[in-house]
Amino acid sequence: MPGSIDLRSDTVTLPSPGMRKAMSRAEVGDSRRGEDPSVRALEEYSAALFGKEAGMFVPSGTMGNLCAVAAWTRPGDVIVASSASHIAGREGPAVSHMASVAIEGIDAPGGIFSANEVASAIAEAPKRAESKVRLVAAENTHNAGGGTVFPLSVLKRIRSVCTKASLPLHLDGSRIFNASVASGVSPASYGKVSHSLMFCLSKGLGGPVGSVLLGSREFRKEARNVALRIGGGMRQAGIVAAGGLYALKHHIERLAEDHENARALASELDDIPGVEVVNVPVETNIVLFRWKTPSMGLPAVREQLVQRGVLLDDRGFPLFRAVTHLGIGKKDISRAARTLREVFTEQGHSST
Ligand SMILES: Cc1ncc(COP(=O)(O)O)c(C=O)c1O
């Protein structure tokens, strides 16, 4: 809806004028043959940023995670992940079907599990599944947990557990730059603690398409074979890769503004009677909030919000998610908060 304040996700961001210019100038070639200079530039820049040997540009985070899981495991294996993670939830059916692995989920507040929980999952899973754990995956930031940041110290302890059990640690870093900007931990530190890492260009960074999967050269070879098998071989992908590279060079530091806007929205929401912010304190760009006393159903709420020009994601009504991003300014936050107050209080109901 043009003109709406779109807080559904940071995937709705549109390419900025500078990004479009970079894309229009991109040198391209046949990327499936490894001949697209813009794709290669993006992969090399990304690998250097995280201190990894190699990177692979893929069309989506879902494909990046799937390639990682399939590269690290064999059919019948078990992987450990938070139960609420993207890998276990939305990607679960694809991972089970296409990589043929089972997922041992850890229920952890905000999706941040401990090294001890990983150790017991590694020990317990074989008893249930008669199969071995072959991979541990952590999501940073954790989407369903409310954009929570995995503390580096916890990741280091998890890595030690993985090392003891000879297991790789994969980071679903779909929003790793939000984690980095919020915590001050460098991308290279996240690269060092993990064996493989996927990050998305098409979320808060504002790139048009794609994600990058990083790891050793050997891992990339394995993961690339998986990508090619499932149709991930792209041709003149440099046009979109150039947008991604522009995002890496220009849109990382500004994520701090999104975090500030998310905190401002959370504080306004907390002031609305009957509304409770769930993920307090808000760590990055995601605000989860509950309408504790709903006096209308989801379709009516949606209609009211759409009419007033605010778009939200529901996370199981009456739980909602608002995500700040590059298309949202301070004024949008004030307007969205005013609208939500109208809709969630008597003032809003009287106008239905
Ligand atoms: C944590 C996380 N991982 C992976 C993905 C998948 O990314 P994509 O939508 O590019 O497939 C998402 C998408 O929202 C996500 O939030």
Convert the pLDDT of each residue in 126-161 to its tens digit: 887 789 999 999 999 999 999 999 999 999 999 999
Share of the chain above pLDDT 90, in %: 95
Q: How far is the CA of 42 from the centre of ligand 1 (A)?
A: 19
What single letter denotes the amino acid at residue 278? V
pTM of the model: 0.96
Q: How much is the pLDDT for 234? A: 96
Asked whether 269 and 277 are in contact (CB, 8 A), the reply is: yes
Mutational test site, ligand 1, from 13, 143, 149, max ligand atoms within 8 Å of CB: 143
pLDDT (mean) for 300-314: 94
Mutational test site, ligand 1, from 69, 87, 174, max ligand atoms within 8 Å of CB: 174
The CB of 211 under 6 Å from ligand 1? The reply is yes
| Placement of tokens 């046009």 in the chain | 239
Q: How far is the CA of 198 from the centre of ligand 1 (A)?
A: 10
- The residue contributing the CA closest to ligand 1 atom 8 is 61
Q: How much is the pLDDT for 351? A: 45
User: What are 337's two structure tokens?
Assistant: 């908060």
What single letter denotes the amino acid at residue 203? K
| Placement of tokens 């209080």 in the chain | 345
pLDDT averaged over every residue in the chain: 95
Residue 249's CB: how many other CB atoms inside 10 A? 12
Q: How buried is 11 (Cβ within 10 angstroms: 0-12 exposed, 13-18 middle, 19+ buried)?
A: middle
| Placement of tokens 């200079």 in the chain | 37
Residue 328 clears pLDDT 60, i.e. is over it: yes
State the greatest distance between any 2 C-alpha atoms of the chain, in Å, as a whole number. Answer: 63
Q: What are the beta bridge partners of residue 310?
A: 5
Pairwise CA distance, residues 70 & 87, whole Å: 12
> H or E element: which one contains 232?
none
Q: How much is the pLDDT for 349? A: 55
Residues 6+ apart with CB under 8 A from 281: 263, 266
Pairwise CA distance, residues 55 & 272, whole Å: 46
Q: Is 145 helix (H, G, I), strand (E, B) or coil?
A: coil
Residue 347 clears pLDDT 70, i.e. is over it: no
Asked whether 221 and 71 are in contact (CB, 8 A), the reply is: no
Q: How far is the CA of 211 from the centre of ligand 1 (A)?
A: 9
User: What are 108's two structure tokens?
Assistant: 């952890």
Q: How far is the CA of 65 from the centre of ligand 1 (A)?
A: 9
Q: How far is the CA of 306 from the centre of ligand 1 (A)?
A: 25
Query: What pLDDT digit, counting tens, does each position of 152-189 carry?
Result: 999 999 999 999 999 999 999 999 999 999 999 999 99
The CB of 284 under 6 Å from ligand 1? The reply is no
The CB of 86 under 6 Å from ligand 1? The reply is yes
Pairwise CA distance, residues 40 & 20, whole Å: 19
Q: How far is the CA of 85 from the centre of ligand 1 (A)?
A: 10
Asked whether 134 and 100 are in contact (CB, 8 A), the reply is: no
Residue 350 clears pLDDT 90, i.e. is over it: no
> What angle do helix axes 17-24 and 238-250 make, rounded to 10 degrees?
140
